Amino acid sequence: MKGPAIFLAQFVGDEAPFDNLSNITKWAGDLGYVGVQIPTWEASLIDLTLAAESKDYCDEIKGICAENGVDITELSTHLQGQLVAVHPAYDEQFDAFAPQEVHGNASARQAWAVEQMHLAARASANFGLNAHATFSGALLWHTMYPWPQRPEGLVETGFRELADRWVPILNAFDQAGVDVCYEIHPGEDLHDGVTFERFLDATGNHLRCRILYDPSHFLLQQLDYVQFIDFYHEHIKMFHVKDAEFNPDGRSGVYGGYQGWVERAGRFRSLGDGQIDFKAIFSQFARYGFVGWAVLEWECCLKHPEDGAREGVEFISSHMIRTTDKAFDDFAGGQADEASNRRILGIDT
């Protein structure tokens, strides 16, 4: 595992040090981060079209990061990926994720999003990256709760259509040698293990269909986020380190009652302020030999983001496990061979 790293999306702004790539990577490096995950929709950080066309430009961007002591961990297209599949009920809200010229035109917006994904594949290759972060989008989310009853075949049709939209994109990433890591997230059709399995099956078990693991979204669903790693460790290629808490009462539970983040039973918190058992998670990743980055995604309904970022460096560093190459009781072991093993077992005596 590599890290600590930080996702820059929640920190980009108009004022220094968050206003351009040089300033924000120096800020991150000075805090102690050694990697940054770059949101590709932020023009102040990256020109995605140019990155897809020019390796020289990508080398320049990498050089700016290196001067400030950080590597680029991955690129992100969370907003663009969301727009690959949008149910009409969400058209107006998701228009905000796209340029003004495609607002009110769902087909043009989707075409723009698909092109963005193809650019991201080529840009990731030009940066020498092997994984990419995104959302799946959703056609079925409005049917998440089974009332009214879902017609027979509706789910299968939805995942078949979602896969049809994504397979050409997955193929482009395959040509680039880059995994597509879908953040398993409420609001996406890929929001838990079962839905990931449905999508993976619909893509024909596409080699590049992978998982971005973020335990905060699983705690808020009351899903066993530690066992999730047992089930899907072979598919997990990215890790967002984000904390959360779930405190239901007699008034509000998982669905939240349309309340704001502070009032909800389920809330995102800064690292160490929530209920996630990160010792168990990092132990699981050590057990299965996870080799990706540990990336802070700061989202907290209470704490200031700069405080969360500062505290996140030590939190992640203290949880990362350098795996051992020897057993703790090797000192007590003796020489072993087949003959001695047979004697110990009482065989051939």
Percent of residues, the chain, with pLDDT higher than 70: 99
Domain borders along the chain are 2-344
On the question of pLDDT at 330 being above 80, the answer is no
Q: How high is the pLDDT of residue 337?
A: 87
State the pTM of this model: 0.95
From CA 194, how far away is CA 204, in angstroms rounded? 16
Contact 74, 132 (CB under 8 A): yes
**How far are the Cα atoms of 125, 136, 164, 179, 248 from residue 169, in angstroms, in the given order?**
14, 11, 10, 11, 40
pLDDT bucket at 349, cuts 50 / 70 / 90: low
Percent of residues, the chain, with pLDDT higher than 90: 93
From CA 347, how far away is CA 349, in angstroms rounded? 6
On the question of pLDDT at 323 being above 90, the answer is no
On the question of pLDDT at 238 being above 90, the answer is yes
Q: How high is the pLDDT of residue 328?
A: 73
pLDDT tens digits for range 107-131: 999 999 999 999 999 999 999 999 9
Q: How high is the pLDDT of residue 34?
A: 98
- Report the chain's mean pLDDT, rounded to a whole number: 96
Average pLDDT over residues 307-317: 98
Burial 160-179 (b: 16+ CB within 10 A, else e): eebbebbbebbebbbebebb
On the question of pLDDT at 340 being above 90, the answer is no
| String of DSSP letters for 205-261 | S-TTEEEEE-HHHHHTTT--HHHHHHHHTTTEEEEEE-EEEE---SS--TTGGG--T
Average pLDDT over residues 323-336: 75
From CA 244, how far away is CA 233, in angstroms rounded? 21
pLDDT tens digits for range 170-226: 999 999 999 999 999 999 999 999 999 999 999 999 999 999 999 999 999 999 999
Q: How high is the pLDDT of residue 173?
A: 98
Bond into 4 cis (ω within 30): yes
pLDDT tens digits for range 272-304: 999 999 999 999 999 999 999 999 999 999 999
Q: How high is the pLDDT of residue 58?
A: 98
From CA 176, how far away is CA 118, in angstroms rounded? 10
Topology (CATH) of 2-344: TIM Barrel (3.20.20)
